[in-house]
């Protein structure tokens, strides 16, 4: 009971398959669709004069052991395959499918595929539709309608001849569209499947059903080829769009003027370096400003104002006054430490500034694919600055003074002042003709002497009082003079060191700026040459891509025209087979 195909059908089918194979072989890039070649070769292998009768057996429910053994007998299979059957339809490793083919018995030859309704096989371009299906329901009660609906729709979608055997009182499946259903109770089936085919006279329509499956398989491969062609067409459009984008990018790169970019970066560097230098100089100037409470000069002034008294020492009849011990040394340490701290801070700021400018410039140039690197030189003569600082921070003025102490003669002169004044009065009166001495030495002698003694004592008292006041004034004046001298010398020291450090730092900053600009100029010169070569390479690369895409597009358009002719020929061939197929199904 093998299926016998006519030579006319085989010839037309092989001709159509050869045309499709020629189309696929001539299409550029078809090596990515190599699976279609193998599926087409498999399909052509099914188109021979005598083929086994392909039958799919669908188990709508699970049979009992007796029913399963009856099924094996009905399919003319060995009863020893019972365990293999029950195991295959329940294991995912075997894809829930049992394959078998009985030994030929006379003219009987079948190829079985047994599976449950829960595991319908997936149809692809590598498989063809079965010639006949056998749907079996072993239960005595019908299942719910919603469970049968997806099975009915799946069977109707594939069409063909379906033999439905059931144990319940009424059939579960009925005619739908291209699905021809032959429903029979299980107890009314003949002994074997071969006898059923002879009884229903299905053998005459099986070649058409099988041929229809071959044509549909060829049509599926053709549709898959259409999808591949559509993907290639989309790929061509995408690559053409990307090529156009690359052309625009090349044109944009041609407009890129690296010299303008260099001038812009150079201006930015000069501005940043000038602002940094100005900030450093302003900070150094603020160190010598007394009105700034955070400045070094303000700290020095506060420390100087803490000196409230001078040290005094008697030496050789004189009084020496000088600053307290350690005052100048403490001021020198304060100024030295602050200036060194400022120098270290400026060095750190300069390093961080150069690092930031180098990194930022490198990032800006990286956006334009220009390589740039700069290593700061930091040519600063710190040893000279340190040596000059030790020379500058020295107090040169004399912070010591001597005052002569008053002697006994000074006190006696102050006490005898009134008597000397009286003697002078006597001399003037004698010259003028008055004898005041005679008046005093008369009866007023005892009154005059106490008065003279009192006047001399008062004169001595006022002398001592004025001397103390003058000494206090001179002490305060000398203390203020020494304070002002300390502040003035400290300011001069700070100014000398900061001016020299500022000049040294400004020179180093300008040298770093010149070095970075020179390095930038060299990088741009190399980048301009590389940019020119890159544009030329990009133009050549894009041109080759466009030429390849144009050639590929011409081949694609030619393949589409040939494919349209093939589709019309295949549609005509399918229409003829389809008409005969429906006429045959109508007779069943």
Q: What is the mean pLDDT of the chain?
A: 78
Q: Does the model's pTM come out above 0.85?
A: no
pLDDT band at 164 (very low <50, low <70, confident <90, very high): confident
pLDDT tens profile 364-392: 888 877 788 888 887 788 888 888 888 88
pLDDT tens profile 509-520: 899 889 888 888
pLDDT band at 107 (very low <50, low <70, confident <90, very high): very low
pLDDT computed for residue 275 by the predictor: 92
- The answer on pLDDT for 105 being more than 80 is no
Secondary structure of 358-405 in HEC code, one letter for each residue: HHHHHHHHHCCCCCCCCCCCCCCCHHHHHHHHHHHCCCCCCCEEEEEC
Q: Are strands 53-59 and 50-51 parallel, antiparallel or unpaired?
A: unpaired
Q: Which percentage of the chain shows pLDDT scores above 90?
A: 1
pLDDT band at 473 (very low <50, low <70, confident <90, very high): low
Return the higher-pLDDT residue of 362 and 127: 362
pLDDT band at 314 (very low <50, low <70, confident <90, very high): low
pLDDT computed for residue 286 by the predictor: 85
- CA–CA dist 577, 159 (Å, integer): 15
CA dist 156 to 160, 173, 181, Å? 8, 10, 10
Return the higher-pLDDT residue of 352 and 103: 352
Calculate mean pLDDT across residues 439-461: 59
**Could you tell me the residue ranges of all domains in the chain?**
3-239, 256-569
Architecture of domain 3-239: 3-Layer(aba) Sandwich (3.40)
Nearest to 215 by CA among 24, 3, 49, 15: 15
pLDDT band at 411 (very low <50, low <70, confident <90, very high): low
- CA–CA dist 369, 358 (Å, integer): 16
């Amino acid at each position: 009971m093998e299926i016998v195909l006519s030579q006319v059908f085989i010839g037309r089918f092989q001709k159509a398959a050869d045309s499709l194979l020629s189309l696929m072989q001539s299409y550029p890039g078809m090596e990515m669709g190599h699976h279609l070649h193998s599926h087409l070769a498999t399909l052509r292998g099914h188109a021979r004069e005598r083929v086994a009768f392909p039958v799919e057996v669908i188990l709508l429910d699970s049979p009992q052991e007796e029913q399963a053994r009856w099924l094996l007998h009905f399919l003319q299979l060995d009863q020893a395959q019972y365990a293999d059957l029950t195991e295959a339809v329940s294991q995912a490793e075997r894809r829930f499918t049992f394959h078998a083919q009985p030994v030929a018995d006379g003219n009987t030859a079948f190829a079985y595929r047994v599976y449950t309704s829960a595991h319908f096989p997936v149809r692809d371009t590598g498989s063809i539709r079965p010639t006949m299906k056998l749907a079996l329901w072993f239960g005595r009660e019908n299942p719910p309608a919603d469970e049968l609906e997806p099975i009915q729709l799946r069977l109707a979608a594939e069409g063909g001849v379906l033999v439905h055997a059931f144990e319940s009182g009424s059939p579960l499946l009925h005619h739908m569209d291209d699905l021809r259903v032959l429903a029979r109770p299980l107890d009314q089936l003949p002994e074997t499947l071969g006898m059923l085919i002879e009884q229903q006279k299905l053998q005459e329509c099986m070649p058409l059903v099988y041929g229809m499956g071959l044509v549909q398989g060829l049509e599926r491969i053709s549709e898959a080829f259409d999808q591949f062609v559509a993907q290639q067409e989309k790929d061509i459009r995408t690559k053409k769009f990307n090529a156009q984008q690359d052309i625009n990018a090349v044109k944009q790169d041609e407009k890129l003027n690296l010299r303008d970019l260099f001038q812009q970066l150079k201006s930015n560097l000069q501005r940043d370096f000038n602002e940094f230098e100005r900030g450093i100089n302003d900070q150094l100037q603020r160190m010598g400003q007394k009105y700034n409470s955070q400045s070094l000069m303000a700290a020095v002034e506060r420390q100087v104002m803490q000196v409230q008294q001078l040290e005094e020492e008697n030496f050789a009849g004189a009084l020496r006054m000088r600053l307290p011990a350690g005052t100048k040394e403490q001021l020198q340490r304060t100024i030295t430490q602050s200036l060194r701290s400022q120098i270290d801070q400026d060095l750190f700021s300069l390093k961080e500034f150069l690092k930031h400018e180098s990194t930022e410039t490198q990032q800006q140039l990286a956006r334009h694919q220009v390589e740039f690197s700069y290593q700061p030189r930091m040519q600063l003569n710190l040893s000279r600055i340190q040596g000059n600082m030790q020379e500058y921070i020295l107090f040169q003025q004399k912070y010591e003074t001597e005052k002569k102490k008053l002697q006994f003669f000074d006190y006696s002169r102050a006490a005898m002042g009134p008597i000397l004044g009286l003697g002078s009065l006597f001399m003037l009166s004698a010259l003028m003709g008055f004898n005041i001495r005679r008046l005093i030495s008369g009866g007023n002698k005892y009154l005059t002497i106490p008065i003279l003694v009192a006047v001399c004592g008062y004169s001595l008292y006022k002398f001592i009082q004025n001397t103390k006041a003058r000494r206090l004034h001179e002490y305060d004046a000398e203390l203020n003079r020494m304070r002002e001298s300390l502040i003035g010398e400290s300011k001069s020291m700070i100014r000398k060191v900061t001016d020299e450090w500022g000049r040294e730092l400004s020179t180093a900053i300008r040298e770093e700026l010149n070095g970075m600009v020179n390095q930038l100029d060299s990088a741009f010169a190399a980048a301009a040459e590389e940019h020119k070569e890159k544009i030329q390479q990009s133009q050549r690369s894009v041109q080759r891509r466009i030429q390849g895409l144009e050639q590929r597009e011409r081949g694609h358009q030619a393949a589409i025209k040939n494919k349209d002719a093939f589709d019309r020929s295949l549609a005509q061939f399918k229409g003829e087979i389809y008409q005969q197929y429906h006429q045959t199904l109508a007779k069943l």
